[in-house]
Structure 1
């Protein structure tokens, strides 16, 4: 029980301190967590191990956003309306990880699990005719990640508030992917 509590304290401290100082040392994180440095290193032998734990947490929270957005009676537009703001909330909390190339937003794309909830929903929604048929679900999955990253960047640089970015992302996803909302990607201008 103490081991889990100590690990959680380190993770929580890392989130707080890295949000203001992405280059903070393990020593600073240990001090912020109230856990002895030796205990921190027992859980996270290197800074990269800690960063990977944070990345895993992001992926877990992104999956939770998707799972919450998808309800049996929801239309595709309703799912996207929930998904947009949820993606922004997770991105805001972990924006300090976004500057790390190939980490947070790229992790699910490299090896999407067969049970990846967003990909599974996209496949099912496409099969039910709720989404465009001219775009493969795997393509939509990759584009949602890319658009989510771009939307979070808009918030990060101050061009959009989180609320605006969430709303715009939801609208973009709806118009891009919901059947009957956009022109075919293969149709001529």
Structure 2
């Protein structure tokens, strides 16, 4: 990677990070001017990197998928007990997702940018829940898909709480784990 390419990557990352922070705080009211200023670039520079708000949202979504996938891969979900794996997932999702709360609040759906998003993000969670059902940690009467939806709902609620400043990442994560596991234990 050349020096110019590395600089371009750093600038794009700074813009995405700034957009995530500003949009988590202000939601749809966040202006491109404010995002550019927070990133330390001009509005013209922001538009050279991301020609539209939609392009910026796609970049934020791609970055969040990649960060979440890395967290899931690093969590070693198969090598630890189900309750510990759920706790790692909750912390990871909330820590990363907190930066991208604007995407979850706005219901922004990733389109074809990451066709493997389900395999990277959702399938490891379903697999964990299947394992929990098989080993008796989780209720057999709840399908892994149902558990995944319930867990996702709790994560979204935790993201809303952390974005609003009512609680921190650790407190929100602990609440998700407690509510989820207490409600789904066998």
Q: TM tier, shorter chain?
A: 0.7 to 0.9
Q: Could you say what the CA RMSD is over the residues aligned between the two structures, in angstroms?
A: 3.0
Q: Distance in 2 between matches of 1:160 and 1:16?
A: 17
Residues 1:93 and 2:93 are matched in the alignment: no
Q: How many angstroms does 1:3 deviate by?
A: 2.8
Q: How many angstroms does 1:149 deviate by?
A: 1.1
Which segment is superposed worse, 91-100 or 77-86?
91-100
For the 8 Å contact 1:85–1:169, the answer to whether it is kept is no
Q: Distance in 1 between matches of 2:181 and 2:75?
A: 14
| 1:9 corresponding residue in structure 2 | 14
| 2:66 corresponding residue in structure 1 | 60
For the 8 Å contact 2:75–2:85, the answer to whether it is kept is yes
For the 8 Å contact 2:105–2:160, the answer to whether it is kept is no
Q: How many angstroms does 1:156 deviate by?
A: 4.2
Structure 1 residues 20 and 72, CA, compared in 2 at 3 Å: closer, same or farther?
closer
In structure 1, the gaps of 5 or more residues are: 106-110, 181-189
Q: Distance in 1 between matches of 2:129 and 2:182?
A: 15
Q: How high is the TM-score relative to the length of structure 1?
A: 0.72
Q: Distance in 2 between matches of 1:164 and 1:154?
A: 10
For the 8 Å contact 2:15–2:36, the answer to whether it is kept is yes
Give the match's secondary structure for 1:60: helix
| 2:83 corresponding residue in structure 1 | 77
Q: List aligned pairs for 1:72-151, cutoff 5 A.
A: 72-100=78-106, 102-103=107-108, 113-115=118-120, 116-151=123-158
Give the match's secondary structure for 2:83: helix
Structure 1 stretches of at least 4 aligned residues deviating more than 4 Å after TM superposition: 127-130, 156-161
Deviation sequence 1:138-168 (CA, Å, 0-9, x none): 1111111111112233344565444322112
| 1:108 corresponding residue in structure 2 | none
Q: How high is the TM-score relative to the length of structure 2?
A: 0.73
For the 8 Å contact 1:63–1:117, the answer to whether it is kept is no
Q: Distance in 1 between matches of 2:165 and 2:44?
A: 39
For the 8 Å contact 1:88–1:152, the answer to whether it is kept is yes
In structure 2, the gaps of 5 or more residues are: 111-115
Q: Distance in 2 between matches of 1:68 and 1:177?
A: 25
